[in-house]
């Protein structure tokens, strides 16, 4: 079941976790939401108290994408887990709304305009630099004007694709940039609050766990309702076959770095793997497809324009917000039903895969 806003989603998550006797934690984020209510990352732990193996399901790293991830977490807590006997030594760690500000305001990025999946830099990487083409395209990607209904974004982008080459654009647009704080795909200039919370608590939540499977739930990439796994690993030759054998769903794709649409830095997955160096840590970004890439990009761009250059009572502001919401949580009840069912099935397959 999809929630109508972040607060309803968080409330449902907490209540469902409590009724399963999960250990529940709340980690506040210092930023006010639209109703000046508190925002938080909430964490529920279920199963073994001293697990050998932990399945992590995290949601909402990209704010507005949290509607889907939260609905899958809620269905896991209310439908799957009550009927399932967890294997001995296995625990589930559910992390709700890694970017609660973006979820609450229907933004992809956080309270500092940071795209969190570009913020988790590894030791030695610096919060500086942008692809050269991004700097050249900045006026086009991030116009300093309110969004307009008639915008030839897609046509212009195709023209740039002809000019620069599609491969170059794919390596430019979504990979992350660290120089344009009001721009899209901005990775920040320091570790974001969510990263600090994970750095302090993930080792405690995982305890002596030796094996981790982390599925980070997203939307907006791939075909309508279809799940795509983007597997991040230092040793893809070992992990890709395991993912391919463990997970099955209609149309499901498992892609390694090579097959991915783009390679970005600051991904949460490799950062978690580096933090938990002693663990055998398998990580995948799980994307549920909505619309094709260009309309999704168009929505991300329009919402960013609205956030910076429009007023919140203007019709174009509302329109841009609704574009981004529809791009990540389509109103279609068939889409919603399908992704939640797929998400629960994948969680069941993950638990079965960890048992082996
Ligand atoms: Zn995402």
User: The pTM is what?
Assistant: 0.95
Per DSSP bridges, beta strands 39-47 and 90-96 are antiparallel
Residue spans per domain, the chain: 6-121+186-290+329-355, 132-175+294-325
Return d(Cα 247, Cα 347) in angstroms, integer: 9
What topology is assigned to 6-121+186-290+329-355 in CATH?
Answer: Aminopeptidase (3.40.630)
Which DSSP string corresponds to 153-166? HHHHHHHHHHHH-H
| Cα 275 to middle of ligand 1, angstroms | 21
Asked if the model's pLDDT at residue 262 lies above 60, the reply is no
Return d(Cα 109, Cα 144) in angstroms, integer: 18
Instruction: Give the mean pLDDT of the chain.
Output: 92
| Cα 61 to middle of ligand 1, angstroms | 7
| Cα 140 to middle of ligand 1, angstroms | 22
Average the pLDDT over each of 48-52, 149-153, 167-171 and give the range with the smallest value. Answer: 167-171
| Cα 343 to middle of ligand 1, angstroms | 15
| Cα 87 to middle of ligand 1, angstroms | 30
Taking residues 264-290, report their average pLDDT. Answer: 93
Return d(Cα 132, Cα 177) in angstroms, integer: 10
pLDDT over 90 for what percent of the chain?
Answer: 77
| Cα 216 to middle of ligand 1, angstroms | 9
| Cα 66 to middle of ligand 1, angstroms | 9
Tens digit of each residue's pLDDT (9 = 90 or more) over 313-349: 999 999 999 999 999 999 999 999 999 999 999 999 9
Taking residues 156-183, report their average pLDDT. Answer: 85
**Strand, helix or coil for residue 44:** strand
**In the prediction, which pLDDT does 169 show?**
77
| Cα 206 to middle of ligand 1, angstroms | 24
CA-nearest of 103, 102, 81 to 92 is 81
| Cα 221 to middle of ligand 1, angstroms | 8
| Cα 51 to middle of ligand 1, angstroms | 29
Write down the H helix ranges in the chain.
6-19, 66-75, 100-105, 132-141, 153-164, 166-170, 193-206, 236-246, 268-275, 293-309, 315-328, 333-355
| Cα 253 to middle of ligand 1, angstroms | 16
**In the prediction, which pLDDT does 235 show?**
62
Return d(Cα 262, Cα 84) in angstroms, integer: 37
| Cα 285 to middle of ligand 1, angstroms | 8
| Cα 290 to middle of ligand 1, angstroms | 12
| Cα 117 to middle of ligand 1, angstroms | 8
| Cα 219 to middle of ligand 1, angstroms | 6
**In the prediction, which pLDDT does 167 show?**
78
| Cα 26 to middle of ligand 1, angstroms | 22
Average the pLDDT over each of 32-46, 66-80, 279-293 and give the range with the smallest value. Answer: 32-46
| Cα 155 to middle of ligand 1, angstroms | 24
Tens digit of each residue's pLDDT (9 = 90 or more) over 201-221: 999 999 999 999 999 999 999
| Cα 353 to middle of ligand 1, angstroms | 24
Asked if the model's pLDDT at residue 28 lies above 80, the reply is yes
Write the DSSP symbol of residue 175: T
Q: Which residue has the tokens 């980070």?
A: 216
| Cα 65 to middle of ligand 1, angstroms | 6
| Cα 89 to middle of ligand 1, angstroms | 31
Q: What is the dihedral of CA 246, 252, 254, 258, to 10 degrees?
A: 170
The pair phi, psi for residue 120, each rounded to 5°, is -90, 70
Q: Is 50 exposed, middle or buried (0-12, 13-18, 19+ CB in 10 A)?
A: exposed
């Amino acid at each position: 079941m999809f929630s109508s806003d972040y607060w309803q989603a968080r409330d449902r998550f907490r209540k469902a976790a409590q009724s399963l006797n999960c250990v529940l934690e709340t980690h506040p984020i210092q930023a006010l939401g639209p109703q000046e209510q508190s925002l938080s990352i909430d964490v529920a732990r279920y199963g073994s108290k001293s697990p050998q193996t932990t399945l992590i399901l995290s949601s909402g790293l990209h704010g507005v994408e949290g509607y889907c991830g939260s609905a899958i977490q809620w269905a896991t807590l209310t439908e799957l887990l009550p009927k399932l006997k967890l294997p001995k030594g296995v625990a589930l760690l559910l992390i709700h709304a890694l970017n609660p500000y973006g979820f609450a305001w229907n933004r992809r990025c956080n309270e500092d305009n940071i795209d969190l999946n570009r913020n988790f830099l590894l030791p030695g990487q610096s919060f500086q630099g942008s692809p050269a083409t991004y700097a050249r395209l900045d006026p086009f990607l991030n116009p300093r004007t309110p969004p307009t209904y008639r915008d030839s974004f897609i046509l212009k982008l195709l023209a740039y694709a002809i000019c620069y080459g599609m491969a170059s654009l794919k390596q430019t647009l979504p990979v992350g940039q660290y120089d344009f704080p009001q721009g899209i795909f901005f990775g920040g200039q320091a570790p974001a609050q969510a990263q600090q919370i994970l750095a302090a608590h993930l080792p405690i939540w995982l305890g002596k766990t030796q094996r981790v499977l982390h599925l980070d739930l997203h939307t907006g990439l791939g075909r309508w309702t279809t799940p795509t796994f983007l597997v991040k690993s230092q040793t893809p030759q070992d992990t890709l076959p395991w993912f391919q054998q463990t997970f099955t769903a209609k149309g499901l794709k498992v892609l390694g770095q090579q097959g991915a649409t783009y390679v970005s830095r600051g991904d949460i997955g490799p950062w978690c793997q580096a933090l938990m160096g002693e663990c055998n840590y398998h990580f995948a970004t799980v994307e549920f497809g909505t619309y094709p890439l260009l309309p999704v990009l168009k929505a991300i761009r329009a919402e960013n324009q609205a956030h910076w250059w429009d007023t919140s009572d203007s019709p174009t502001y509302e329109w841009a917000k609704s574009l981004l919401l529809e791009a990540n949580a389509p109103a279609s009840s068939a889409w919603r039903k399908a992704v939640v069912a797929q998400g629960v099935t994948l969680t069941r397959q993950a638990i079965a895969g960890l048992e082996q």
